Amino acid sequence: MKITDAATQLEALGNPTRLAVFRLLVRAGEAGLPVGRIQQRLDMPASTLSHHLKTLCATGLVRQTRERTTLICTADFKLMRGLVAFLVAECCAESACAPADAATRAA
Amino acid sequence: MKITDAATQLEALGNPTRLAVFRLLVRAGEAGLPVGRIQQRLDMPASTLSHHLKTLCATGLVRQTRERTTLICTADFKLMRGLVAFLVAECCAESACAPADAATRAA
DNA sequence: ACGATATTTCCAGAAAAATCGAAACACGTC
DNA sequence: GACGTGTTTCGATTTTTCTGGAAATATCGT
C-alpha cells in the first residue's frame, strides 16, 4: 500500500461525519445500509450525506450497489483490513504493536 | 475512546505530509527525532513543519521533549495502539477483523 | 550580555473542504 | 408517459486548512 493511498483513506475517515457514516456501515455488516436510512439515522441533509458518501466511495472504503430504487452502501472490509495492516506494519515499527520484522522492513 | 477523538487522530494522519512525519517518527522508535532532522529528511520549510507538528502534538500522537537546544519528537505508541484498537474493535464489527463480541457491543 | 543554533509564532494569501437548498436525474409503478 | 420515491448534481456561501517568509523566542556556550 502506498503512503498516499493510506493518507487518502485516513483523511476520509478523519471527518467526524464520515467516520460516523462508516461506522454505521461497518456495523451493518455485509448487508449494508440504504443511503436514505443513513440519512435518517444521522439526521442530515441528503445532499451533504451524498457528498460525504462520494468521498468515501472514492477511497474505496465504501461501495454502492443498486437494489430496486434504493442504493445500498456497504463498507469494504477488505480495504479496511488493509488500512489497519498498514498502520500496524508500516507505521508501528520497533517498540510497539508490530510483528518483529516490521522494524527491519522499515529501514 | 470517543469517536470524535478517533476522528481527530485519523484526520491528523490523513494529511500526506503529516503521515510522512509520523511514519518517520515511528520508525525512529522511542529515541525519536529532532525537529531539524525531520526537516532535513522531508525537505520542507521549518514553519510548515512546525505547523504540522503542532497538529500532531495536539492529538497526542506525537510528544516533544527538550534535549539541550533541540526538540526531540517521539511518536506515542500507546495512543497509536489505541487508535488501531478502535478501528478494529469499534469499526470492524461482524464480518471482519474483529473479535466476535464486537458486533454484540455495537448494537 | 552577545552570538549561534533551533524552533515557533505571526501574518497573509491560496487552495480545498463542508454545508445545504433547489433543481435534476434514475428507477420502478401505474 | 406521468407520478412518486430515492439519490445526486449544481451553485453559492462559509469555514477551514495548507503554505511559507519574516520576525520573534528559547536555549546554550563563551
**Domain layout of chain B by residue ranges:** 3-76
pLDDT for B91 equals 63
Q: Which of residues 64-93 of A touch B (CB under 8 A)?
A: 77-78, 80-81, 83-84, 87-88, 90-93
Of all residues in chain A, the percent with pLDDT exceeding 90 is 69
C-alpha to C-alpha distances, A60 to A23, A25, A56, A77, A87, nearest whole angstrom: 15, 13, 6, 10, 17
pLDDT (tens digit, 9 = 90+) per residue, A41-50?
A: 999 999 999 9
Q: Which three cell numbers stand for residue A93?
A: 515499527
Distance from residue A62's CA to nucleotide D8's C1', rounded to whole Å: 16
pLDDT (tens digit, 9 = 90+) per residue, A46-86?
A: 999 999 999 999 999 999 998 878 899 999 999 999 999 89
Q: Is B3-76 CATH 1.10.10.10? A: yes
Selection from A17, A22, A53 nearest residue A35 by Cα? A53
Of all residues in chain A, the percent with pLDDT exceeding 70 is 83
pLDDT for B99 equals 45
B46: Cβ under 7 Å from strand D? yes
User: In one letter, which amino acid is A69?
Assistant: T
Mean pLDDT taken over chain A: 86
pLDDT for A21 equals 96
| Shortest distance, CA B102 to any CA of chain A (angstroms) | 9
Interface test with A, best of B13, B59, B61 (most A CBs within 10 A): B13
Decide which of 3.40.50.720, 1.10.10.410, 3.40.980.10, 1.10.10.10 is the CATH code for A3-106: 1.10.10.10
A70: Cβ under 7 Å from strand D? yes
Cβ contacts of B63 on chain A, cutoff 8 Å = none
Per-residue pLDDT of chain B (107 residues; tens, 9 = 90+): 888 999 999 999 999 999 999 999 999 999 999 999 999 999 999 999 999 999 999 999 999 998 877 899 999 999 999 999 899 876 665 444 544 344 444 43
pLDDT for B90 equals 67
Asked whether B72 and B64 are in contact (CB, 8 A), the reply is yes
Q: Out of A6, A20, A81, whose CB is closest to B96?
A: A81
pLDDT for B69 equals 79
